[in-house]
């Protein structure tokens, strides 16, 4: 039957469209961060995929299109009786990705796989592994397995057949990862055995 989940967007028009297109999903109008506060919503045009609560540096095309109160991801999941263990978490919020991640209690909620936009990827793999996002995920027991554009993918170390090593790159070596992901699906993937 496929999968279903929660989809969160901060623009009402996108929420309405997703409710029509994704009938099995719970679609929520919200802005997600690591704390609750009233923030501006920025966008470069109507129906943009770049709408955000974090004003990008050096982007004079962005305009304030409204205000919204942020919530933590943990609060949204609790309000919607979401299970503590789930397969996939995708975070792509145009620059506020680390704040969204910090708003999820990773001691309570245990996604097996997290795909998160990491703008440090513009500096390559070294930028990713030295980023706040990567270091935060490593501390919480995740291992980097793939990088595609600005999206990084990590898997819970409990799903890997390795001990956590303290090497700079923290390479996962796991047959299980190979079954879940095929290298050709990504621009770059760590080697697996």
Distances (CA, A) of 77 to 19, 26, 109, 144: 18, 11, 9, 24
C-alpha–C-alpha distance, residues 193 and 5, integer Å: 32
Residue 123 belongs to some domain of the structure: no
Q: Which domain range does residue 28 map to?
A: 1-82
Global pTM value:
0.79
Residue 22 belongs to some domain of the structure: yes
Question: What's the structural domain count of the chain?
Answer: 1
Residue 130 belongs to some domain of the structure: no
Residue 95 belongs to some domain of the structure: no
Residue 161 belongs to some domain of the structure: no
Residue 127 belongs to some domain of the structure: no
Residue 168 belongs to some domain of the structure: no
Token pair of 24 as six digits: 């099995």
The H or E element that residue 91 is part of is strand 85-91
Write out pLDDT tens, residues 58-114: 777 888 889 999 999 999 999 999 999 998 999 999 889 999 999 999 999 999 999
Paired residues of 189 in beta bridges: 146
Write out pLDDT tens, residues 164-184: 443 334 444 333 333 334 333
Residue 49 belongs to some domain of the structure: yes
């Amino acid at each position: 039957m496929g999968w279903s989940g929660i989809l969160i967007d901060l623009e009402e028009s996108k929420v309405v469209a997703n409710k029509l297109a994704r009938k099995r999903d719970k679609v929520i109008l919200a802005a997600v961060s690591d704390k609750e506060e009233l923030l501006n919503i920025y966008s470069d045009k109507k129906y943009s995929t770049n709408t955000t609560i974090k004003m990008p540096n050096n982007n004079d095309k962005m305009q304030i299109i409204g205000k919204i109160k942020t919530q933590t991801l943990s609060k949204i999941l609790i309000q919607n009786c979401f299970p503590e263990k789930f397969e996939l978490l995708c975070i792509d919020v145009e620059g506020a990705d680390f704040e969204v991640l910090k708003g999820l209690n990773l001691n309570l909620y245990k996604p097996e796989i997290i795909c998160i936009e990491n703008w440090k990827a513009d500096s390559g793999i070294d930028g990713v592994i030295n980023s706040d996002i990567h270091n935060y995920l490593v501390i919480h027991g995740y291992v980097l397995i793939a990088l595609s554009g600005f999206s990084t993918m990590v898997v819970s170390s409990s799903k890997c057949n390795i001990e956590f090593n303290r090497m700079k790159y923290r390479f996962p070596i796991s047959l299980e990862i190979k079954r879940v992901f095929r290298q050709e699906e990504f621009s770059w993937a760590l080697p697996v055995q």
